[in-house]
A = this chain, B = another copy of it.
Amino acid sequence: MANQSEEQNQEQQQRPIVMVHRLPTFSFSFANRLKTHYHLFDPLDSPDLIDLHRDSVRAIFCVGPSPVTSELIARYPCLEIIVGSSAGVDHIDLRECRRRGIAVTNAGNAFSEAAAEYAVGLLIDALRRVSAGDRFVRAGLWPKAGEYPLGFKLGGKRVGIVGLGSIGSEVANRLAAFGCSIAYNSRKKKPSVPYPYYAKVCDLAVNSDVLVVCCALADETHHIINKDVMTALGKEGVIINVGRGKLVDEKELVQFLVRGEIGGAGLDVFENEPYVPKELFTMDNVVLSPHRAVLTQESFEAIQEVVVANLEAFFANKPLVSPVQNE
């Protein structure tokens, strides 16, 4: 028995260290699964251990959008990888990672389907006025006010997808089944994609009835949906954002909506969450959502698999499952 325990101890010593990084409000459910393969240290549980392992930590598991600053990165001189569990990684200082040669992984495709179906839901809602009709019924207005105004049909609409990554591609697949015509903008034309490509978002907007924004947030995509794009989209146009709030110039969008210079919007993300511009609260052509596009009760299983697979790949010197392109 003593021997076995010693063996177990030795085996545990040989397990690689994985440092957990999370805001106190974020938790994760599969710590026990990770502990069977790694020395898992969560500074929120045992802050003293940070100093003990500082010089040997090669991998950080970042829970949700917990901010990974350059200061945090600087604490770990041997850091080689940050395994993320969110779709976007704008909470991680990618510049510092690039400088230090630290790899970053994200949720990969684990959330893409959930985000894509939510984007379609927001779009149907914004066009057909589902939420607004629901408010109308709940307010008891149907017997009093009579017929609720008609919305617009999704089928046949020209949809421009801003960012044809894993989420954008899933959006395109779904909307094609509704009889929408699809076009897209992204950093580069994708050779294997059959949809028309527009190098400039403004050109995509001119040729679209709807823009679905699902690109990553970075310096070059900050306010990618600006005043000029909204003008190009036109007064019947609808903007859906399931990416990040800062992809859209929110102040401008509010003004366009107030002035009736754009047709509607479905917004899951905002520039200053959880704060949402109050002007939008009274609009029936707008759907407001508290950043719920990617997460469902079914998502956690999928994200767990991606995190485990990336950690395994890293420690086995194999290709990462969902590396973030950080050039």
**B-binding residues in A (CB < 8 A):** 113-114, 117-118, 120-122, 124-125, 128-131, 133-138, 140, 142-143, 146-148, 150-156, 173-174, 176-179, 273-276, 281, 287-290, 292, 295-299
Question: B143, B147, B154: which contacts A117 (Cβ < 8 A)?
Answer: B154
A276 nearest in chain B by CB position: B137
Interchain nearest-CB distance for A245 vs B (Å) = 13
Contacts of A122 in B (CB 8 A): 130
Bound: A288/B135 CA distance, A: 8
Asked if B121 contacts A292 (CB within 8 A), the reply is no
Number of copies: 2
Question: B135, B142, B153: which contacts A135 (Cβ < 8 A)?
Answer: B135
Asked if B120 contacts A124 (CB within 8 A), the reply is yes
Given contacts A142-B276, A153-B296, contact A125 B121 (CB under 8 A): yes
Bound: A86/B166 CA distance, A: 40
Bound: A297/B179 CA distance, A: 17
Contacts of A299 in B (CB 8 A): 150, 153
Question: B124, B274, B298: which contacts A142 (Cβ < 8 A)?
Answer: B274
Asked if B113 contacts A118 (CB within 8 A), the reply is no
Interchain nearest-CB distance for A102 vs B (Å) = 29
A154 nearest in chain B by CB position: B117
Contacts of A296 in B (CB 8 A): 128, 150-153
Interchain nearest-CB distance for A217 vs B (Å) = 20
Closest 6 CB pairs of A and B: A121-B124, A177-B177, A142-B274, A153-B296, A137-B288, A153-B298
List 22 contacting pairs A-B, 8 Å CB cutoff, sorted by A: A113-B153, A114-B153, A117-B124, A117-B154, A120-B178, A121-B121, A122-B130, A125-B125, A125-B134, A133-B288, A133-B290, A134-B288, A135-B135, A137-B276, A137-B289, A142-B275, A146-B274, A147-B290, A151-B296, A152-B297, A153-B296, A153-B297
Given contacts A137-B276, A152-B298, contact A290 B142 (CB under 8 A): yes
Contacts of A121 in B (CB 8 A): 121, 124-125, 128, 130
